[in-house]
Amino acid sequence: MIRRTTVQLAAMCGAEMNEAAARRADAVICGVATDSRRPAEGRLFIPLSGERFDAHDYVGDAFAGGAAASLWQAGRPVPEALAGRPLLLVDDTLAALQRLAAAYRGQLPATVIGITGSNGKTSTKDMTASVLARRLRVHKTEGNLNNHIGLPLSILAMDENTEAAVLEMGMSGFGEIERLTRIARPDVAVITNIGDAHLLQLGSREGIAKAKLEIAAGLKEGGVLLINGDEPLLREGAKRAEGYGKWRLETFALGREDGWSAKLLAATAKESAFTIRPPEGPEWPGEFRVPVPGRHNVANALAAAAVGALLGLDPESIRQGLGAVKLSAMRLETTHAANGAVVLNDTYNASPASVKAMIAFVGELTGYRRKWLVLGDMLELGPDENRLHYETGAAANPDRIHAVLAVGERSKHTVRGAAERLGPERAIHFADKDALVRRLLAELAPDDLVLVKGSRGMRMEEVVHALVRG
């Protein structure tokens, strides 16, 4: 984590030291803290204000917990209890946190990899870190800390001797990725894909592509922008993004002729095997495996392999790195219904792209008698939500999917789409989860498979729990 003297920190975040801080100007401070309930020992406390609280109220607690100094919004009266405490006065504590992270990044020799995209950011981040860790000292975003607060904190958590940092960048509107990339200054920027998440805020898929491509704004000169080659909007958008500076474009995709390419060899509910061909060919010898399910994870693994090669790793190290992948939050969990049927719990979240990816994935699985899709609404899709639900339902292939069962107002359109392909008996809408579970339990065979998925707000895990209870 960051290790600097008080006066250095003040300079890095553009702060003015109060008297107590100036007296300790040369004292070394290690790390930052934003939550006074977590250990702040020896750290710089950064009081951020949220919707319902202002952490300035907890600066006293942070000092009681051993904080070495704290940021403080200039002009705000300093309470009696904090007299004599070292404070660094700034215009805005959030902006100061971001300046501090940007300055720290600028002082570090590490190669930075920034990862954005509608889906697969965390998975690709974990895979990339696993690959790079075969040869380099790696730091990665912990969990999902990918926003305007999490990204700076991820950077400040980095050790001085880090060789490669893999950072996730999330967004929900225009300008957010640009802000993050200008802080992180990536050497390699990855866009996993574009989906339909945040359509509401961004208006169209073109808008989503444009917002993701903002990542090029912070790319280091001579860096690489690695995009999903299957997405025309990214390819076209990347040409326009050239205005952001001098970098090189590379693409990755399953089964394409150009760019980084992977060919799927086998897919089970636990892992996938595939081959990899670099843009200049020929195919790397041998097969590669990732111990996580889904075709979409092969695309994520391909991006990770490409980053590994861009940083100079050999195919053998990349093979080992992918084989050792452990995802931070394994979103797709496999459990069993009371009668033994396999239940794929992917209820963490859902968007049209991720649901279609899962429908394709389930479709490819073999060894199950019937495959059921249990789908809840996808939220925050904006004015096109009916069409997007319809299209998602229509992605169910009648030769591969037995039935689509759905709950939620919007999912009526999913069922309408599915019925076009499967017929009305195999595409059914339910008024509530209880009714759906009753029907499914009545028909489910022990050698069947069920995928359960929906947006977070739909709490589709309740269906999984009910199936497990039986």
Which residues does the annotation place in the binding site for ATP? 117-123
Report the residue number, 121 or 139, with the smaller CB distance to Mg ion. 121
Annotated binding site: 117-123
Task: Give the per-residue SS3 of 241-308.
Answer: HHHHCCEEEEEEEECCCCCEEEEEEEECCCCEEEEEECCCCCCCCCCEEECCCCHHHHHHHHHHHHHH
Nearer to ligand ATP, 357 or 419 (CB): 357
Q: How many whole angstroms separate alpha carbon 362 and alpha carbon 343?
A: 11
* 332 near ligand ATP, rule: CB under 6 A: yes
User: What is the SS3 assignment for 69?
Assistant: strand
Dihedral over Cα of 389, 390, 391, 395: its sign: positive
| C-alpha span between 127 and 166 (Å, rounded) | 10
Q: Residue number with the shortest CB distance to ligand ATP? A: 120
Is residue 218 near ligand ATP by the rule CB under 6 A? Answer: no
Q: Which residues pair with 227 in a beta bridge?
A: 191, 251
Rank residues 59 and 169 by Cβ distance to Mg ion and give the closer one.
169
Rounded to whole angstroms, the Cα distance separating 263 from 283 reads 10
The strands making up 223-228's β-sheet, listed across from edge to edge, are 138-140, 164-168, 111-116, 188-191, 223-228, 247-254, 260-267, 272-277, 288-290
**By CB under 5 A, what part of segment 14-33 binds Mg ion?**
none
296 is a site residue for Mg ion (CB under 5 A): no
Q: How far is the CB of 328 from ligand ATP (least distance, A)?
A: 8
Q: Identity (one letter) of the amino acid at 45?
A: F
**Of 24, 235, 331, 439, which lies in the binding site for ligand ATP, with binding defined by CB under 6 A?**
331
Residue nearest to Mg ion (CB): 122
Assess whether the previous peptide bond of 152 is cis (omega < 30° from 0).
Answer: no
How near is the Cβ of 305 to ligand ATP at its closest, in Å? Answer: 14
Residue 162 near which of ligand ATP, Mg ion, none (CB within 5-8 Å, type-dependent): none
Q: Among 41-49, 75-83, 144-152, 351-359, which window interacts with Mg ion (CB under 5 A)?
A: 144-152
Q: Considering the complex, state which of residue 328 and residue 334 has its C-beta at the smaller distance from Mg ion.
A: 328
Q: C-beta of 193: minimal distance to ligand ATP in Å?
A: 5
State the nearest-atom distance from the C-beta of 141 to Mg ion, in Å. Answer: 8
Please list, in sequence order, all residues whose beta carbon lies within 8 angstroms of the beta carbon of residue 467, skipping any fewer than 6 positions away: 337, 338, 341, 343, 437, 440, 441, 444, 450, 452
Query: Nearest CA to 208 among 384, 346, 387?
Result: 384
By a kind-dependent CB cut-off of 5 to 8 A, residue 36 interacts, out of ligand ATP, Mg ion, none, with: none
* First and final C-alpha spacing in the chain: 48
Q: For residue 192, state whether it binds ligand ATP (rule: CB under 6 A).
A: yes
CA separation for the pair 195, 209 (Å, rounded) = 9
Any idea which residue has 């008024």 for tokens?
Answer: 431
Do residues 126 and 327 make contact, with C-beta atoms less than 8 angstroms apart? yes
Whose Cβ is closer to Mg ion: residue 4's or residue 139's?
139
Choose the contact partner of 354 out of Mg ion, ligand ATP, none; CB within 5 to 8 A by kind.
Answer: ligand ATP
Q: Which is nearer to Mg ion, 144 or 386 (CB)?
A: 144
Task: Point out which residues pair with 429 in neighbouring strands.
Answer: 406
Which listed residue (86, 150, 152, 170) binds ligand ATP by CB under 6 A?
170
Residue recorded with tokens 């950011």? 121
State the minimum distance, in angstroms, from the CB of residue 124 to ligand ATP. 7
Nearest distance from C-beta of residue 324 to ligand ATP, angstroms = 17
Give residues 428-447 in contact with ligand ATP (rule: CB under 6 A). Answer: none
| Residue 363 CB-density burial (10 A; 0-12 exposed, 13-18 middle, 19+ buried) | middle
Cβ-based nearer residue to Mg ion, 123 or 345? 123
Q: Does 450 bind ligand ATP (CB under 6 A)?
A: no
Q: Is 234 in the site for ligand ATP (CB under 6 A)?
A: no
Selected range binding ligand ATP among 86-94, 258-266, 295-303, 390-398, rule: CB under 6 A: 295-303
Binding flag, residue 86, ligand ATP (CB under 6 A) = no
**Interface with ligand ATP, residue 272, by CB under 6 A:** no
The mark string for 89-128 relative to Mg ion (x by CB under 5 A, - otherwise) is --------------------------------xx------
Give yes or no for residue 93 binding ligand ATP (CB under 6 A): no
201 binds ligand ATP (CB under 6 A): no
Phi (first) and psi of residue 135, to 5 degrees: -130, -20
Can residue 358 be called a binding residue for ligand ATP (CB under 6 A)? yes
Cβ-contact 322, 290 below 8 angstroms:
yes
- 8 A C-beta contact, residue 131 and residue 305: yes
**Count of residues binding ligand ATP (CB under 6 A)?**
23
Residue 144 binds Mg ion (CB under 5 A): yes
Exposure b/e, 201-210, CB count within 10 A at least 16 = b: bbbebebbbb
Binding site for ligand ATP (CB under 6 A): 117, 119-123, 144, 146, 170, 192-193, 296, 299-300, 331-332, 346, 348-349, 353-354, 357-358
Residues that bind Mg ion (CB under 5 A): 121-122, 144
